[in-house]
Amino acid sequence: MKVSVIGIGHVGLVTAACMAEWGHDVIGFDNDPAKITSVENRQVPFHEPGLRDLVLTGVDAGRITVTGDPSVALDDRDVVFICVGTPKGKDGAPNLTYVQAAAAMVATHATKPTVVAEKSTVPVQTGERIKQALGLQAKSTGGSTQHAVVSNPEFLREGSAVQDTLFPDRVVVGADGEAPHRIMRELYQPLLDGHDCPYVATDVKTAELIKHASNAFLATKISFINAVARVCEMTGADVHTVADAMGHDARIGRAFLNAGLGYGGSCFPKDVEAFIHIAADLGYDFGLLRETERINREAKLWPVVQLRRLLWNIGDKEVAVLGLAFKPHTDDIREAPALEVIESLIEEGTQVRLHDPVALPQVADRWGDKVRLCETAEEAVRGAHAVVTCTEWPEYAEITAPQLAEWLEFPVVVDARNVWDPEGLVAVGIQLASVGRRMP
Ligand code: UDX
């Protein structure tokens, strides 16, 4: 089928590459020339494992092209995905101006009636707004009024976005009417032929809510285990064992029960806030989610509280921060909890040494000489008074307890992502704070 993807950021480029992998003819559109040039130069504009290979396979097979010209992007398309950003606007409500602009672009340039699929995370009822925008623009430009609007939320995680899209747990499509459902089913048939997963066909509003409910639930799961971690710390119980044992219950599941520094990234913080806001607008106070947010804010403050406990004054100390990205296997630092840790340390006057395997270029000029960017974890830790882990990159787990003990000036470790086994660290004389872990 002929597909267009408007917005080739994290969601859009992965969508484009996977659609091409399923044999569709895909055009990626972006109004950021840097993104277009990047793909034309056989690169991808961000770090995402496996994506470059998949994009290049599509490009070499002639199934993916990119353009900054809307009339090329929207010529003779069966399905058009809207994958533009929905940044946080005023009061936590998402800013949907890019979505509206994308709809207007379809109404103006599409050469035939098409299925407009919203993939950007949007508030419930955005589908109706898109329909409205399509209608208004069609009236003013004389374009087609026959476009259908569907909601097809993505559930891809950065760092495993390609796998999550090629082998999803479910495909959700919300459409009002048989015809768009038939087209979307045909679009996903190559995936469904090779991979056994439920295909949830529903109406537009329900599909929009599935996305909100899923992300808000996962964020709540994380805050729940972080709250349990606090109680573990007060009682000497071990949160890791609690999470494992809870996870054995099939009704609960082990995923997203890793206690740590809280959730960050481009989705959970924004989606939870948006869901609270949408519910409030509709007259419902989603207090549970407000508490999810409160616990998350508290989780991000935890490392500095622990540093003060272990070092007393921290303004005259040098602290190594390991990890900047909001999670491993990505260079994305949007809402990364590490940012808050670093900024709190800077405010105290602490000298920070920072390492991350891929995300450092994102902060090249951000903090001047208050933060030393280090090429290796060893460079950051050697001679520091303490180390704080903010992202659980696998390479940090390979640093041994004796190495930490030797490298550090003071034997102080604040393991905010539970990277290391407490037994090993305590055995070599390290004073350790781990999130909710039992101390030997
Ligand atoms: C998320 C959703 O998982 C995905 O389905 C959605 O479509 C987009 O948002 P993403 O933001 O890429 O994906 O990352 P995710 O793996 O969900 O992690 C989000 C945050 O939660 C990270 O900061 C991560 O460190 C944190 N997290 C995750 C925990 O603190 N504990 C956990 O157990 C899991």
Q: For residue 263, how far is its CA from the centre of ligand 1 (angstroms)?
A: 6
**Adjacency order of strands within the sheet including 318-322:** 371-373, 351-355, 318-322, 386-389, 412-415, 431-434
Is 232 found in the same domain as 185?
A: no
Q: How many domains does the chain have?
A: 2
pLDDT reported for residue 72: 98
Is 336 found in the same domain as 280?
A: yes
Q: Strands 318-322, 386-389: parallel, antiparallel or unpaired by DSSP?
A: parallel
Distance CA(72)–CA(81), nearest Å, equals: 15
Q: Annotated catalytic residue: which of 18, 83, 232, 267? A: 267
Is 248 found in the same domain as 157?
A: no
Quick one: residue 430, left, alpha or beta (phi over 0 = left, psi -120 to 50 = alpha)? beta
- State which H helix or E strand residue 434 sits in: strand 431-434
Q: Is pLDDT of 105 > 90?
A: yes
Question: What average pLDDT score do residues 111-123 get?
Answer: 90
Provide the whole-model pTM: 0.93
> Which of 166, 99, 106, 176 is closest to 134 using CA atoms?
106
Is 384 found in the same domain as 315?
A: yes
Domain that holds residue 309: 216-434
| CATH number, domain containing residue 113 | 3.40.50.720
**Does residue 206 form part of some domain?**
no
Task: Identify whether 267 is a catalytic site residue.
Answer: yes
**Does residue 210 form part of some domain?**
no
Q: Which of 15, 154, 156, 157 to mutate to test the pocket of ligand 1 (most atoms within 8 A of CB)?
A: 157
State the residue for tokens 């949907």.
Answer: 96
Q: Is pLDDT of 93 > 90?
A: no
pLDDT reported for residue 259: 98
Q: Is pLDDT of 144 > 80?
A: no
Q: 331: pLDDT confidence band, cut at 50, 70 and 90?
A: very high
pLDDT reported for residue 143: 73
> Helix or strand or coil: residue 420?
coil
Is 195 found in the same domain as 224?
A: no
Token pair for 154: 């993505």
Is 325 found in the same domain as 297?
A: yes
Q: For residue 157, how far is its CA from the centre of ligand 1 (angstroms)?
A: 6
Is 355 found in the same domain as 239?
A: yes
Mean residue pLDDT across the chain: 95
Is 393 found in the same domain as 277?
A: yes
Q: For residue 254, how far is its CA from the centre of ligand 1 (angstroms)?
A: 14
**Does residue 209 form part of some domain?**
no
Is 395 found in the same domain as 359?
A: yes
Residue 310 sits at the vertex; the CA angle it makes with 304 and 313, to the nearest 5 degrees, is 70
Angle between the N-to-C axes of helices 268-282 and 287-311, in degrees from 0 to 180, rounded to the nearest 10: 140
Rg (CA), the chain: 24
Last residue of a domain, one of 201, 235, 265: 201
Q: Is pLDDT of 226 > 90?
A: yes
Distance CA(297)–CA(114), nearest Å, equals: 43
Q: 86: pLDDT confidence band, cut at 50, 70 and 90?
A: confident
Distance CA(417)–CA(175), nearest Å, equals: 41
Is 244 found in the same domain as 123?
A: no
Q: What is the pLDDT of residues 182-200, one digit of tens each?
A: 999 999 999 999 999 999 9
Is 133 found in the same domain as 240?
A: no
